[in-house]
């Protein structure tokens, strides 16, 4: 069941013919992964079958590189993943080396912090860099990152004299009382001229990247390097941080559990993540190409 209350029992294909895909781009949480954060055997087999058919698979996620263990064994040939909502391209075959970084300038991040503190008192912040995450005392703690520094955002974003501070991938903003979509709309209104602002959490947690940085724009760069057109891309997602990617791709699917904005942006719809909605569509694509399915 999606956030709009609709139940989807089978994939709804996009209208009209679509070219043979050369790349599949899929979000992770709420999309490829089940709610228990596992990758089902059916999904593993579908990803392997796509690779065998010559279709590249890119994981495109808001997760940082250090949280990619759950899928690192399933990246196959190219080894690359797009992390932090497009702020980083990471080689999972090479120890999570950063291949591309699209940083949020620290001065811009400080401007956003000042703006949101005025517009939404009670907002707390975390700073995600290439070396890890640090956060303010009132920010919900990251239990997966026990070594984080705790300080004000102003201190965490201060540029040291030797300018050796790790690049900022994204700023996170949390509000304890505002509704998630209300907080997103407010932040975009007051700070959208400075940075790209989105969300992927069911709580009022915003993810703030450099202006123009998104899953879509970084995926477009990766596809351009490979000579792959948007019409040759099939994309999957479930939350507002997937909207631009689903709109950019020639063929796109909202999950059965997707946010209403995602359903509106996608050209088709599949079943929920817990029903292996991504695998269902990949199997249909390969069946249409006459490709055999991998058995695991």
pLDDT digits (tens, 9 = 90+) for 52-72: 999 999 999 999 998 898 887
Q: Distance between CA atoms of 18 and 15, rounded to whole angstroms? A: 9
At 85 the pLDDT is 98
Give the structural domain span for 231.
23-102+214-288
Average pLDDT in the chain: 90
Average pLDDT of the segment spanning 243-262:
98
19-54 residue pLDDT tens: 689 999 999 999 999 999 999 999 999 999 999 999
Task: Answer yes or no: is 68 within a domain.
Answer: yes
Please check the confidence at residue 136 and state whether its pLDDT lies above 70. yes
At 4 the pLDDT is 42
Please check the confidence at residue 87 and state whether its pLDDT lies above 80. yes
Contact (Cβ atoms closer than 8 angstroms) between residue 31 and residue 234: no
Query: Three-class SS of residue 31?
Result: helix
Task: Answer yes or no: is 12 within a domain.
Answer: no
Most confident range, picked from 71-85, 90-104, 152-166 = 90-104
Please check the confidence at residue 100 and state whether its pLDDT lies above 90. yes
Please check the confidence at residue 118 and state whether its pLDDT lies above 50. yes
Same domain, 56 and 199: no
Which of 162, 188, 210 delimits the end of a domain?
210
Confidence of residue 1 (pLDDT cuts 50, 70, 90): very low
At 192 the pLDDT is 98
**Which among 103, 2, 56, 39 is positioned nearest to 222, based on CA atoms?**
56
Report the share of the chain in percent with pLDDT over 90.
77
Please check the confidence at residue 224 and state whether its pLDDT lies above 80. yes
**Which among 278, 248, 258, 254 is positioned nearest to 266, based on CA atoms?**
254
Please identify which residue in the block is written with the tokens 């994939």: 11
Point out the least confidently predicted range of 4-18, 99-113, 163-177, 278-292: 4-18
144-185 residue pLDDT tens: 677 788 999 999 998 653 445 799 999 999 999 999 999 999
Same domain, 93 and 30: yes
Same domain, 218 and 164: no
| Secondary structure letter of residue 21 according to DSSP | P
Task: Answer yes or no: is 88 within a domain.
Answer: yes
Task: Answer yes or no: is 8 within a domain.
Answer: no
Confidence of residue 77 (pLDDT cuts 50, 70, 90): low
How many folded domains does the chain comprise? 2
Which of 150, 182, 210 delimits the end of a domain?
210
Average pLDDT of the segment spanning 235-248:
98
Same domain, 78 and 221: yes
**Largest alpha-carbon pair distance within the chain?**
60
At 74 the pLDDT is 75
Task: Answer yes or no: is 16 within a domain.
Answer: no
Same domain, 56 and 71: yes
Q: Distance between CA atoms of 166 and 184, rounded to whole angstroms? A: 27
Average pLDDT of the segment spanning 8-20:
57
Q: Distance between CA atoms of 197 and 192, rounded to whole angstroms? A: 7
Sign of CA dihedral 153, 157, 158, 160: positive
The token duo for 67 is 């949280």
Same domain, 150 and 165: yes
Most confident range, picked from 123-132, 135-144, 284-293 = 123-132
At 161 the pLDDT is 38
């Amino acid at each position: 069941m999606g956030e709009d209350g609709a139940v989807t029992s089978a994939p709804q294909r996009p209208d009209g013919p679509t070219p043979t895909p050369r790349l599949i781009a899929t979000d992770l949480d709420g999309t490829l992964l089940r709610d228990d954060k596992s990758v089902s055997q059916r999904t593993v087999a579908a990803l392997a079958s796509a690779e065998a058919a010559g279709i590249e698979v890119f994981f495109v996620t808001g997760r940082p590189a250090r949280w990619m263990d759950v899928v690192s064994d399933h990246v196959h040939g190219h080894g690359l993943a797009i992390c932090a909502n497009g702020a980083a391209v990471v080689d999972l075959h090479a120890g999570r080396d950063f291949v591309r970084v699209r940083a949020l300038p620290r001065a811009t991040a400080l401007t956003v912090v000042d703006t949101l503190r005025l517009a939404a008192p009670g907002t707390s912040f975390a700073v995600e860099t290439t070396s890890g995450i640090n956060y303010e005392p009132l920010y919900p703690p990251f239990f997966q990152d026990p070594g984080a520094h705790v300080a004000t955002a102003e201190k965490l974003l201060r540029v040291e004299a030797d300018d050796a501070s790790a690049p900022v991938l994204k700023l996170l903003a949390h509000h304890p009382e505002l509704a998630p979509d209300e907080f997103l709309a407010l932040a975009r209104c007051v700070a959208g001229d400075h940075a790209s602002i989105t969300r992927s959490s069911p709580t009022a947690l915003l993810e703030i990247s450099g202006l123009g940085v998104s899953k879509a724009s970084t995926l477009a760069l990766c596809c351009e390097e490979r000579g792959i057109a948007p019409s040759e891309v099939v994309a999957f997602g479930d939350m507002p941080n997937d909207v631009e990617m689903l709109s950019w791709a020639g063929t796109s699917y909202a999950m059965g559990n997707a946010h209403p904005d995602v359903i509106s942006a996608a050209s088709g719809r599949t079943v929920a993540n817990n029903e292996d909605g991504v695998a269902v569509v990949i199997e249909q694509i390969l069946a249409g190409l006459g490709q055999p399915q991998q058995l695991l």
